[in-house]
Structure 1
Amino acid sequence: MFKNIRCLLLICLIFLVTSCGAPLVQKSYLRPGVDVSYIKKIAVLKFQNNSQNKYAAERLRNIVITEILAKGIFDVVDKSLVDMVLMEEIVGEEGAYNKATLRRIARKLGVQAVLTGSVDAYDIERTGTYSYPVVGLSLTLIDGSTGEIVWQASGTASGYSTWGRIFGTKGKDLTELSFELVQRLLDTLNI
């Protein structure tokens, strides 16, 4: 009898431990043969917002800029200057940029590359009485002289936790989860 109970408890414990973390789906691409060390300064353009949260694109743009600067990956042009050039170029809020426009923007801002992005999720999901954050983001680094993609990374992170759902513990909030996802995406740049 005790063997069956111990075995059942062990199985439950293994299930809880292995399913407690926040799921992360991530994929990245780095153009073969490209050494990104020539990129010293970038401009982070406005992100496309595909989420239900109208402030998500600007929030994640700020987090990306902060993380790039904190990691010392690149120097970043102040976003107010970037936005001014975008207005001059009459680029809409949707973040649709063609190669010629990207090259002009890079030239005007004096950068070797531009970073674009799209926010695919920035929501609080609910399952019964349990709620948890979900963040989805894609980042694309584009060469300022050619308009070609140098690097791209996409990922989705969830704050879902079986432990949190069962025991009611507080998990990560949207901002904390966003910083974690951005850090992981930028780590694939391998600089």
Structure 2
Amino acid sequence: MLKRVLIPSAFLVSPLLIADNTFANSKLLSQPPSPQAVIAQNSLSERTTEKPRIAVLDFDFSSVGNPSLLSLINGGADGVGDLLVNALVEGGQYTVVERSRIQSILAEQNLGASGRIDASTAAEIGKILGVRAVMIGSVTQFDLQKQNAGGGIFGVGASTQDTDAEVAINVRLVDTNTAEILYTTQGKGNKSQSDTQLRAFGVRAGASTSNDGKLLTLATEEAIQTITQNMNTQVDTIAALQQSIPDVEALVASVSGNTIILNKGKKEGYREGMVVSIERVTQEVKDPETGEVIRTLTTKLGEVKLTDVDAKSSLGQWISGTATPQVGDLAKPMRQN
């Protein structure tokens, strides 16, 4: 049943007033956005289309009391870093560099040979990889404790074994461009298990289900879950960092008109919008004692803007320069447009 509602005259609005307000609102809507609003919108659009690119380096285990326990988890010492990479990728907030690529860079550049990587070395590695930030850290606790209890009478009894796995990980986030430590966080994990066995006249019943490796892995995953959750709160901070330029030169692999293809891609930190300098080697200066090339002199031919980049190659368009590039010319990253 419909009810009639009487509206007091005080609440009636003049059509002219409505028209005036509508006109005022339309003027506000038609005004162009401020430069600050445009910059903010562009920044938001960039974040929604491109995730911040980071790298996770090997963790330091020098503080672990019993390093042999690391062999109980999948991948050993590298397994902790792998678990963190997997968690970050599954979180969907970051693009994470493949661990194999990092190991290749460490070997090629002889970086981190001492086993411990400080912030400045991490930043150097990050520049080569072309990432905005690098995660370094240490495992400060990786313990397994066992306690046995039990008793019996007249040959019959029971025994209980309690196993506790405890893991603690400290992580630091390093700005690739400045080597500044942007953020620190810690994750802790604890998993336990209790097994009971019955004993009668020398015969045991109730086999132990203790799995030390599984307990340590679960405790590590719990610690990493906390770290990942905390890292996800920093995604906007990392996205706002200046994009680093990879310190890896490429070679021209193909030339077709104004279209150039290089032999380096996303694995080396190349990406769409990057501008590279195309240069030709004019002289190689060798050490007279060893014959080693100590300096390479080049002449700049022009610039190419990358438009399509996959894992192993980059395609770009010639945007400046009058010389004709050829296969084998050098390509040096310059800037990100």
| TM-score of the pair, normalised by structure 1 | 0.68
Q: Deviations over 1:105-160 (max 9, x none)?
A: 11110100001111122232112331121111111111111111111111332224
By relative contact order (CA 8 Å, sep 6+), the higher-ranking structure is: 1
One-letter identity of the residue aligned with 1:182: I
Q: Deviations over 1:15-38 (max 9, x none)?
A: xxxxxxxxxxxxxxxxxxxxxx79
1:1-191 aligned at under 5 Å gives the runs 40-49=52-61, 50-51=63-64, 52-54=66-68, 55=70, 56-87=76-107, 88-92=109-113, 94-99=115-120, 101-128=121-148, 129-160=161-192, 164=194, 173-189=215-231, 190=233, 191=235
Q: Does the 8 A contact of 2:187 with 2:225 survive in 1? A: no
- What's the CA shift for 1:94? 2.5
Q: Does the 8 A contact of 1:39 with 1:74 survive in 2? A: yes
Q: What is aligned with 1:22?
A: none
Sequence identity (%): 23
- Greater shift, 168-177 or 53-62, is seen at 168-177
Q: Does the 8 A contact of 1:46 with 1:93 survive in 2? A: no
Q: Does the 8 A contact of 1:121 with 1:136 survive in 2? A: yes
One-letter identity of the residue aligned with 1:53: P
Q: Which segments of structure 1 move beyond 4 Å, counting only runs of 4 or more?
A: 168-172
- What's the CA shift for 1:59? 1.3
One-letter identity of the residue aligned with 2:58: K
| TM-score of the pair, normalised by structure 2 | 0.40
One-letter identity of the residue aligned with 1:119: V
- What's the CA shift for 1:60? 0.7
- What SS does the aligned partner of 1:59 have? helix
Q: Deviations over 1:58-96 (max 9, x none)?
A: 111010000000001211111111112122143125323
Aligned mates of 2:97, 2:114 — CA distance in 1:
19
Give the CA RMSD over aligned residues: 2.8
- Greater shift, 80-89 or 140-149, is seen at 80-89
Q: What is aligned with 2:256?
A: none
- What SS does the aligned partner of 2:93 have? coil
Higher helix share: 1
- What's the CA shift for 1:48? 0.4
Aligned mates of 1:188, 1:174 — CA distance in 2:
22
Aligned mates of 1:148, 1:59 — CA distance in 2:
27
Aligned mates of 1:188, 1:143 — CA distance in 2:
17
Any unmatched runs of 5+ in structure 1?
Answer: 1-36
Q: Does the 8 A contact of 1:155 with 1:181 survive in 2? A: yes
**Count of matched residue positions in the alignment of Structure 1 and Structure 2:** 152
For the pair shown, the structure with the greater C-alpha radius of gyration is: 2
